Amino acid sequence: MIDVVAIGESMVLFQPTDGEKMVYANQFSQSVAGAETNVLIALSKLNRPVRFISQVGNDPFGERVLQTLRQEQVDTTFVAVTDQASTGIFFKERRPLNDPLVHYYRKGSAASRLTRKDYRSLWLKDAKHLHVTGITAALSEESFLLLKETMIAAKQFGLSVSFDPNIRFKLWDKDTAKTRLLELLPLCDVFLPGEQELAFLFPKLTEQAQIEAVKKQGVAVIVLKRGSRGSGCYFLDEHIERAPFPVDQVIDSVGAGDAFTAGFLHVFLDLNKQTLTKPEMDRALEVANAMGAYMTQFKGDWEGAPDRATLSELLGEHALTDR
Ligand code: KDG
């Protein structure tokens, strides 16, 4: 049985080794990242069986993506390899007083060329949950349509579906982003936007009105990421807030939202979706906040994700006994 399936793009990530500006850098470290695989790897580190659906090029970067995912126990049975396009890559440039800058080289990439014809019902077989992000919807028109078809199929097969809009304006124009994201919204059970993303989708409304607008689309659970102010959750007629997990200093914010999502899903997956309670959802936010905060302490997009023992220690549930 697979707990979580995700569909999307995982790329090779380069970063100037000493944190210099890109234009002056001579040496780069190489790793792998992508919003969906960041979530899958974080879940895998918590011993959750996970599967990735994608396509890479028949090139060394594709090999690197596959190698990394397999090493992190992500099922790659349905990651196709093609001769027709290259694996996407991107660069992350540190900015001392701000979030890092990201430079993409992924237009026409192997992952962006998956089409509806590639869809296989086997992707979702034996799986409990599908996780998707708006990044996949932004890759190409076909990619959006394939994503939509996969979400519809997941619902038909009885999987729960989570959706993080993960809006990246470098990948699409604002009108297309809004139209496509709103089209996908009714196909999820759990929606995980940041506050600014929710305001982009439903402008000029109070938070309460924004939440009502999402609920009208049939979305059961709305999880609001409030960054350094913690998180909130709206479900049934309930609303809870959770204070942030304290950290002294943020080293790298990229990937924190994905770790947050993995933490939330880790708790949510074991709940009875018909009878969600406040203490259960509070626990999901507690774990999500802790995972998101912990990830900001590491340079990579997923490398800092805690295993079960580290997570328990973070939550003050048991002390590590390694000294
Ligand atoms: O959420 C982090 C991701 O944004 C990063 O790992 C790379 O998937 C990525 C993207 O498209 O920016």
How many residues in the chain?
A: 323
DSSP state of 123: G
- pLDDT at residue 119 in the model: 97
Ligand 1 lined by 168 (C-beta under 6 Å): yes
- Atom 6 (ligand 1) nearest CA: 34
Sequence-distant (≥ 6) Cβ neighbours of residue 62 within 8 angstroms: 56, 81, 86, 87, 110
Q: Which of 100, 98, 170 is nearest to 135 (CA)?
A: 170
- pLDDT at residue 320 in the model: 55
Type and span of the H or E element at 155: helix 141-156
Ligand 1 lined by 301 (C-beta under 6 Å): yes
CB 178 within 8 A of CB 147: no
Ligand 1 lined by 254 (C-beta under 6 Å): yes
Q: Residue 69, Cα to own-chain centre: how many angstroms?
A: 15
Q: How far is the CA of 33 from the centre of ligand 1 (A)?
A: 6
Q: Would residue 258 show up in a list of annotated catalytic residues for this protein? A: yes
Averaged pLDDT, 33-38: 98
Report which ligand 1 atom has the smallest distance to the Cα of 9: 8
Averaged pLDDT, 137-161: 98
For residue 124, pLDDT beyond 60: yes
Averaged pLDDT, 37-54: 98
Q: Distances from the Cα of 320 to the Cαs of 42, 44, 162, 283, 293, in angstroms?
A: 20, 20, 32, 21, 19
For residue 82, pLDDT beyond 70: yes
pLDDT tens-digit readout, 197-234: 999 999 999 999 999 999 999 999 999 999 999 999 99
CB 126 within 8 A of CB 158: no
Residue with tokens 């309460």: 208
- CA separation for the pair 135, 144 (Å, rounded): 9
Averaged pLDDT, 271-279: 94
pTM, whole model, 2 decimals?
0.96
Q: How far is the CA of 98 from the centre of ligand 1 (A)?
A: 17
- CA separation for the pair 13, 29 (Å, rounded): 8
- pLDDT at residue 303 in the model: 94
Q: How far is the CA of 129 from the centre of ligand 1 (A)?
A: 21
Ligand 1 lined by 33 (C-beta under 6 Å): yes
Pocket test residue of 39, 258, 296 for ligand 1, highest count of atoms within 8 A of CB: 258
Sequence-distant (≥ 6) Cβ neighbours of residue 110 within 8 angstroms: 55, 56, 57, 62, 80, 81, 82, 84, 85, 86, 87, 88
**% the chain with pLDDT above 70:** 98
Q: How far is the CA of 27 from the centre of ligand 1 (A)?
A: 22
Kindly indicate the confidence band of residue 319, based on its pLDDT and cuts at 50, 70 and 90. low
pLDDT tens-digit readout, 154-192: 999 999 999 999 999 999 999 999 999 999 999 999 999
For residue 194, pLDDT beyond 60: yes
pLDDT tens-digit readout, 280-308: 999 999 999 999 999 999 988 999 999 99
Ligand 1 lined by 304 (C-beta under 6 Å): no
- CA separation for the pair 55, 164 (Å, rounded): 21
pLDDT tens-digit readout, 85-119: 999 999 999 888 888 899 999 999 999 999 999 99
- pLDDT at residue 249 in the model: 87
For residue 248, pLDDT beyond 90: no
Q: How far is the CA of 319 from the centre of ligand 1 (A)?
A: 32
CB 2 within 8 A of CB 17: no
Handedness of CA 226, 305, 167, 188 (dihedral sign): negative
For residue 27, pLDDT beyond 90: yes
